[in-house]
Amino acid sequence: MDNARDDTSADSFDVVVVGGGTAGLAGALTLARARRSVLVLDSGSPRNAPAAHLHGYLGRDGASPAELLAVGRAEVTGYGGRIRSGAPGTALAADRLPGGGFLVRCADGSAVRAGRLLIATGLVDELPELPGLRERWGRDVLHCPYCHGWEVRDEPVAVLATGPFAVHQAQMWRNWTARVTLLTHTRRLAGEERELLSALGITVVEGEVTGLDAPGDRLAGVTLAGGATVACTALVVGPRFTARAGVAASLGLPVATVERAGAEIGTCLEADPATGATVLRGVWAAGNVAGPMEQLAGAASAGVRAAVAINGDLIEEAGRRALEAHRAAGRGRGRGGDGGGGGA
Residue 8 has pLDDT above 80, yes or no: no
Q: What is the 3-state secondary structure (H, E, C) of the chain?
A: CCCCCCCCCCEEEEEEEECCCHHHHHHHHHHHHCCCCEEEEECCCCCCCCCCCCCCCCCCCCCCHHHHHHHHHHHHHHCCCEEEECHHHCEEEEEECCCCCEEEEECCCCEEEEEEEEECCCEEEECCCCCCHHHHECCCEECCHHHHCHHHCCCCEEEECCCCCHHHHHHHHCCCCCCEEEECCCCCCCHHHHHHHHHCCCEEECCCEEEEECHHHCCCEEEECCCCEEECCEEECCCEEEECCHHHHHCCCCEEEEEECCEEEEEEECCCCCCCECCCCCEEECHHHCCCCCCHHHHHHHHHHHHHHHHHHHHHHHHHHHHHHHHHHHHHHHHCCCCCCCCC
User: What mean pLDDT value characterizes the chain?
Assistant: 92
Q: How crowded is the C-beta side of 258, counted as CA atoms within 13 Å?
A: 19
Closest CA to 18 of 322, 333, 284: 284
> pLDDT digit string (tens) for 152-168?
999 999 999 988 889 99
CA 227 to chain centre: 39
Residue 341 has pLDDT above 50, yes or no: no
**Residue 47, φ and ψ in degrees, nearest 5:** -60, -40
> pLDDT digit string (tens) for 83-93?
999 888 889 99
Could you give the CA distance from residue 242 to residue 240 in angstroms, rounded to a whole number? 6
Confidence of residue 260 (pLDDT cuts 50, 70, 90): confident
Confidence of residue 336 (pLDDT cuts 50, 70, 90): low
Contacts of 270 (CB under 8 A, 6+ apart): 253, 254, 255, 256, 278, 279, 290
Domains of the chain in sequence order: 11-125+240-323 (3.50.50.60), 128-236 (3.50.50.60)
Could you give the CA distance from residue 125 to residue 288 in angstroms, rounded to a whole number? 11
The answer to whether residues 145 and 160 touch, using CB atoms and an 8 Å cutoff, is no
Could you give the CA distance from residue 175 to residue 118 in angstroms, rounded to a whole number? 37
**pTM exceeding 0.85:** yes
Closest CA to 239 of 162, 154, 316: 162
| Dihedral sign computed on CA atoms, order 150, 156, 160, 163 | positive
At residue 87, the pLDDT reads: 81
At residue 234, the pLDDT reads: 97
The answer to whether residues 287 and 303 touch, using CB atoms and an 8 Å cutoff, is yes
Could you give the CA distance from residue 318 to residue 1 in angstroms, rounded to a whole number? 26
Residue 342 has pLDDT above 60, yes or no: no
At residue 164, the pLDDT reads: 84
CB atoms within 10 A of CB 99: 7
At residue 261, the pLDDT reads: 76
How many residues would you count in the chain? 344
Q: Looking at residues 99-125, what average pLDDT do you find? A: 95
Higher pLDDT among residues 9 and 261, named by residue: 261
Residue 304 has pLDDT above 60, yes or no: yes
